[in-house]
Amino acid sequence: MGQGRGFLKKGQRRPSTIRRLAVWLCAVAFLGLAGFGLWLWSYAVTPMPMREGANLHVLIPPKTSLAGIQNILAENGVIPPGRGFYFLARVSRLSQRLQAGEYLFSPGQTPDQILRVLAAGSTVRWSVTIPEGANIYQLADILAEGGWGERDLFLELVRDPDILARHGVRAASLEGYLFPDTYQLLRGQNPREIIGLMVERGRQVRQELGDLRDNALGLSPHEVLTLASIVEKETAAPEERPLIAQVFLNRLQQSMRLQTDPTVIYGLADFDGNLTRKDLETPSPYNTYLINGLPPGPIASPGRAAIAAVLHPASESYLYFVSKNDGTHYFSRDLAEHNRAVLKYQKRGGS
């Protein structure tokens, strides 16, 4: 009799049946993957209508997960709800490259384009202008109003000893070292980075102007910035800056007090916009009607022209100037001429 080759043990399948099952499972898996791939491709290349057809600003906070980014985009109407964006980021291997920041998305962008914008870190940059003559308090207001950090935090940072040491500034604050310019800032940017940008820009400008120690009176770089800040606050007329600088240099050379109102105002705790005789008689390190020489540091952020004016002042012997009430000043060489100018332009209101 035979050895039972045609019989199978209980529960055992024929090899051909197993092969057919395997082929069937592979076919199902292939069709499933193909269907998923076709769906994902269709999702990736379909333009997004977005909400009301408007451009959308979206902020992605630092350390946001892929799922969190998908939710933020969906909540802002950039992409439709669902897991499509999540799968697309995973399959494309871009999920680990998505960057935080503020982005601008437009109607008609596809999920694939949106994904690549996030992976490239193509964030929105905002132009923020710091005007010449702004002090740290005004600068803090500008940044706070624009959403770049709290005012008090900024004022704390510009006085932080570690930050001062890092930037090589031997002073009580970074007043005068935060260069007035237009900066391209990112929404949510660290205030320390913003401070660093401004200090570095100031360093670059000073290097372009030459050695600040090379000046007529041998002032230190810090003293040059201090005097430049006073020049910046005293006149808005560009052609007058070298003249204003020369007046103060002449007074310093002759050991005369500078007697300049902007320094007094800077030293007042609560200035209401009206400088009084009492203010002029109130002692402070910045009251140049009472102290000799320069105040301890800058009173504002001087621009390039003001710094250049201190380094290259006019060749004049003026010791006084008075406002002509038209944005310019009358310059005098002696007190008698100055008093006549004050009578003409201030007390009588003449022109």
| pLDDT tens digits, 327-351 | 899 999 999 999 999 999 887 654 4
Q: What's the average model confidence in pLDDT over 175-186?
A: 96
Q: Which of 15-19, 32-36, 62-66 has the lowest average pLDDT? A: 32-36
111 pLDDT higher than 70: yes
Q: Residue 33: what pLDDT?
A: 63
Which run of H or E residues covers position 74?
helix 66-75
Q: Residue 32: what pLDDT?
A: 58
Q: What's the average model confidence in pLDDT over 316-336?
A: 94
User: φ, ψ for residue 322 (rounded to 5)?
Assistant: -140, 145
Dist. CA 61–CA 99, nearest whole Å:
9
Residue where the block lists tokens 């008075």: 322
Angle in degrees, CA 57, 62, 63, rounded to 5: 130
- Please give the mean pLDDT across all residues of the chain: 88
**What is the DSSP secondary-structure string of 273-312?**
S---HHHHTS--TT-TTTSSS--SS-SS---HHHHHHHHS
Q: What's the average model confidence in pLDDT over 219-248?
A: 96
- CATH number 3.30.1490.480 is the correct assignment for the domain at 51-120: yes
Dist. CA 288–CA 283, nearest whole Å:
9
* pTM for the structure as a whole: 0.79
Q: Residue 23: what pLDDT?
A: 63
Q: Residue 4: what pLDDT?
A: 47
Q: Residue 149: what pLDDT?
A: 87
Each domain of the chain, given as residue ranges in start order, spans: 51-120, 125-209, 221-318
22 pLDDT higher than 80: no
Query: Which residues share a beta bridge with 58?
Result: 103
Q: Which residues contact 133 (CB under 8 A, 6 or more apart)?
A: 180, 229, 232, 233, 300, 301, 302, 303
pLDDT interval class at 35 (50, 70, 90): low
91 pLDDT higher than 90: no
**What is the DSSP secondary-structure string of 103-166?**
EEE-TT--HHHHHHHHHHT---EEEEE--TT--HHHHHHHHHHTTSS-HHHHHHHTT-HHHHHH
3-state secondary structure of 58: strand
Q: Which of 33-37, 125-129, 329-333 has the lowest average pLDDT? A: 33-37
Q: Residue 262: what pLDDT?
A: 96
Name the DSSP letter for residue 321. E
141 pLDDT higher than 90: yes
Q: Taking Cα atoms as reference points, which of 220, 232, 239, 233 lies closest to residue 304?
A: 232
Q: Could you tell me what percent of the chain has a pLDDT over 90?
A: 64
Q: Which of 127-131, 147-151, 202-206, 313-317 has the lowest average pLDDT? A: 147-151
Q: What's the average model confidence in pLDDT over 90-114?
A: 90
3-state secondary structure of 212: coil
Q: Residue 12: what pLDDT?
A: 54
Q: Residue 216: what pLDDT?
A: 84
Q: Tell me: the pLDDT tens digits for 239-290? A: 999 999 999 999 999 999 999 999 999 999 888 888 999 999 999 999 999 9
Q: Which residues contact 55 (CB under 8 A, 6 or more apart)?
A: 104, 105, 106, 107
Q: Taking Cα atoms as reference points, which of 175, 116, 326, 134 lies closest to residue 240?
A: 326
Q: Residue 351: what pLDDT?
A: 42
Q: Residue 9: what pLDDT?
A: 56
